[in-house]
Structure 1
Amino acid sequence: MTDALRKRFHAAHNNLRSKLAKGNIYFEGKGRLPSAGDMYYMTYDCDLEAGAQQHASGCSLKTSSSSSRKDVGENTRVIAGVNRYPELAAE
């Protein structure tokens, strides 16, 4: 991943977290989601990225071992098909 793409993902992720923290996210059929009192700005960790890429390259549907993630959580999602333009995922 390039530094420019990292910055796009990081900014997009923190933008969504900011909207959620302020109570500005709407969920279809549920209305506005509650605001968050203690949502922190996320920092980017290239070591976590490398571990996530290594795990994803193994095509496992299981989560990685918690000892490999520096006491952080993990979300997994399978997306069918081949995405040749990862930069579009940040939009």
Structure 2
Amino acid sequence: MEKASLIPETSRSSLASGHEPNKDGSMAPPATNMEKMVYDCSVEASAQRSANTCTGQLSDPSTRPGLKENPNNIYDMSLSPEEAAEQVSER
């Protein structure tokens, strides 16, 4: 599987600098505390282990120290990764 962020760093940079619109069309304010994303293979491995044993429930936090889970489910397998990300971000 290709490793790619659903929000490319260039888009995050544009958002951080206040160059992206809100849903109402006005410009979003500049981010004041947005950190640069860094890819972490151990986080990927943890996410894959969780996905391999997914029960639809949040896992025990002690099995993923320092990490959180997104409890949203996508059942429409025809969605692109971008569409799926948009769908869960609207909830």
TM range (shorter): 0.5 to 0.7
- How far is the alpha carbon of 1:54 from its aligned partner? 1.8
1:20-45 per-position Cα deviation (integer Å, ceiling 9, x unaligned): 10112212226222111232211101
- Pick closer, same or farther for the CA change 1:78–1:11 going to 2, 3 Å: closer
Query: Pick from 13, 28, 31: which aligns with 1:33?
Result: 28
CA RMSD of aligned residues (A): 3.0
Gaps of 5+ in 1: none
Query: Pick from 38, 42, 56: which aligns with 1:43?
Result: 38
Gaps of 5+ in 2: 83-91
Q: Percent identity?
A: 30
1:67-82 aligned within 5 A: 67-82=62-77
**Higher relative contact order, structure no. (Cα contacts within 8 Å, ≥ 6 residues apart):** 1
Give me the TM-score of the superposition, normalised by structure 1.
Answer: 0.61
- Pick closer, same or farther for the CA change 1:81–1:67 going to 2, 3 Å: same
Query: Pick from 48, 65, 74: which aligns with 1:53?
Result: 48
- How far is the alpha carbon of 1:74 from its aligned partner? 4.1
Q: Which residue of 1 aligns with 2:85?
A: none
1:6-21 aligned within 5 A: 6=3, 9-10=4-5, 12-21=7-16
The structure with more helix, counted as a fraction of residues: 1
Is the partner of 1:16 in helix, strand or coil? Answer: helix
Distance 2:30 2:73 in 1: 28
1:34-71 per-position Cα deviation (integer Å, ceiling 9, x unaligned): 11123221110111011112222333444444444452
